[in-house]
Amino acid sequence: MDRNHQMELMNASMATAICAQVGCTWSTRNQDFGIDLQVHGELYETDPQIDFQLKATTNFAIIKEKLGIIKYPLDAKNYADLIKTNVRKPRLLCLAILPNDPMTWVVQRPFQLELRYGIYWLNLQGLPPRPNTSTVTVEIPLNNKLDSSTLSRLMKAVNETGSIA
């Protein structure tokens, strides 16, 4: 398995752990058409769903702490998929920041399992198309850390309004 696939699998593992923590279920598609993970909120009245495009990196140079952002070069095709407004469910870019050494992605101790480092999300829906043909650099706020309270808040918003504001 190549490293990019290994990193995406780690991202999926981290995202599904957060889903389980808040009582959401998830599914994957047989074919990847820009959506890697579908998150379902069966505990909510309208069974909201959010689609995740999973990406991962070990490149810490993209983190601009002084600016409070992560500058990530997203494939132009993925950008085009994520900006669409004619979709029934919200779509989010979910970028995992991982340690460089895969053997440190998961730390196991007696009675403890730690997944390192974290996932950051960005809603691109409705942004303008870009003429770039290879990558589009997106800016993900460092405040957009995907954790259990954030996922609950996002699911609640989709349940109540059908979108992520």
Mean pLDDT of the region 57-85: 94
CATH number of 3-161: 3.40.1350.10
pLDDT of residue 101 exceeding 90 = yes
Write the pLDDT tens digit of every residue in 16-53. 999 999 999 999 876 667 899 999 998 888 899 999 99
* Pick from 83, 94, 101, 81: nearest CA to 6: 101
Record the pTM: 0.93
User: Domain ranges in the chain?
Assistant: 3-161
d(CA 4, CA 12): 12
Residue 145 DSSP one-character state: B
pLDDT of residue 5 exceeding 80 = yes
- Residue 60, CA distances (Å) to 19, 32, 96, 114, 165 in order: 26, 27, 11, 20, 29
Count other C-beta atoms under 10 Å from residue 5's C-beta: 10
Write the pLDDT tens digit of every residue in 110-125. 999 999 999 999 999 9
H/E stretch holding 64: strand 63-64
Q: How far is CA 3 from the centre of its chain?
A: 18
pLDDT of residue 147 exceeding 70 = yes
The predicted pLDDT at position 149 comes to 97
Tokens representing 148 are: 């259990």
